[in-house]
Structure 1
């Protein structure tokens, strides 16, 4: 999580501010009170440029859309620049929610972590982003798989287990209805295909506590192979946490952009996007919060 130390400017102009990185590794203690919300400005390599506009989380000037996210195979840029291997993958969220996605081959596991997926299945590698987007759009349409999932849907899956039989059924639809060339035919073939893929277990908590090293070149030389990637979050949840917008408590873990916090005997889920643009002060929140069932045990 990034905190900007904004210094008030007498002339009212936007200022360049220092940015502090706050770890969200399990066990981290957060003790901040949220204030007013306004435009978050923009973060660059130089630092954070603040903005006084009251539109939150971003005003019109600082609100941008990554055009590649809208691509379905027809490039929306002035010049196509995605000439490197891309993968089409199936992201699985408990219990039976599936999403088709595209990313650069070397970013596959990182992308799954960013989305908070429970599983990720590498379906196919293609030579560039345009082909990948075409295949993604075809799968989403013909096999009826979404290409985006809302945070509220991910929240409901936090304490559930993946239905693995649903994954096999979904792969059968992908094979039957799309251009993905999987060497599988019958349902038995689907199961055999899944069993043939190596399994890679990733501990998200360990990834967060390790020192951040820029090893992009090494990853590009040895990209993620076709596999089933199982992401472990170790959240130890037995019930659905309470949704809140706070920055107080002990971090139990994160899942995608959701922070799971323990505070005052209750467990809360915070969408990090809802924190963007808030001014903050040191000290735990004094706001009355809805308690979870755990608070009464």
Structure 2
């Protein structure tokens, strides 16, 4: 039994972004490649298991008991140990480092977000953005979060649901419109062109069977060309009937 931590993106020596599936298990952690054409066979269920916690930046510790949970991706014990828990809840905003505020077009919607300066464009790729633009940089975490809140309006949100990320807009017109309205003269990056994967295809789903070959990956969504399956953190991957996870 394995639970999903996330689709983990990494830039190769040629500058292209590829990905792998980062999983929690009873024994610790596993990583499974998601190269184009690689065979896959697994089932995403509604059952959830704790994915562990971050004791330090860039580190991951396993849940001591790989606990079954009802919602989210962490048990109360691991959530309490996670250094980012307070940041996510808005209780701790004083993280070290320089932060940037960005706008990203995903489908036909635009979101505002905050990330460390060095994590652009990784953050855009992880979120499944089609186009991105950095609008502020060199900020403290508190300053960045204040800017993010200022830019959250009816036109600009902080979150976009996965099922709305499956469309591929032909141009960044929505993002450019908002940049112009706010007086920003900044470069817009075509985020999907940075990865090795073609445009996402398939009917969106949050659970069920996904078999065949990897055709595309966008953010946290994996497609075999027919089904575009959300890899939701905390959800359990089950072994399909008569087939095992070693087949992908």
Give TM-score, length-normalised by structure 2. Answer: 0.70
- Work out the CA distance in 2 between the residues paired with 1:241 and 1:198: 29
SS at match of 2:143: helix
How big is the shift at 1:108? 1.2
Name the structure, 1 or 2, with higher relative contact order (CA <8 Å, separation 6+). Answer: 2
Q: Structure 1: which 5+ residue stretches go unaligned?
A: 7-16, 176-181, 183-192, 206-232, 286-297
Pick one of 195, 211, 229 that aligns with 1:204.
195
Count of equivalent residues = 213
Larger Rg: 1
Higher helix share: 1
- Work out the CA distance in 2 between the residues paired with 1:57 and 1:87: 27
Q: Structure 2: which 5+ residue stretches go unaligned?
A: 1-20, 55-59
After superposition, the C-alpha distances for 1:32-87 in whole angstroms (9 at most, x for unaligned) are 3567824235267455644353635647525737332344xxxx23xx54232211
- Work out the CA distance in 1 between the residues paired with 2:69 and 2:229: 22
- Work out the CA distance in 1 between the residues paired with 2:69 and 2:172: 46
- Superposed, which structure 2 residues align to 1:3-22 within 5 Å? 3-4=23-24, 6=26, 17-22=27-32
Give TM-score, length-normalised by structure 1. Answer: 0.60
Deviation above 6 Å: which 4+ runs of structure 1?
none
The equivalent of 1:89 in structure 2 is: 102
- Work out the CA distance in 1 between the residues paired with 2:150 and 2:62: 40
- Work out the CA distance in 2 between the residues paired with 1:46 and 1:121: 33
Q: Does 1:271 align with 2:226?
A: no
Give the alignment's Cα RMSD to 1 decimal. 3.2
Higher strand share: 2
The equivalent of 2:76 in structure 1 is: 61
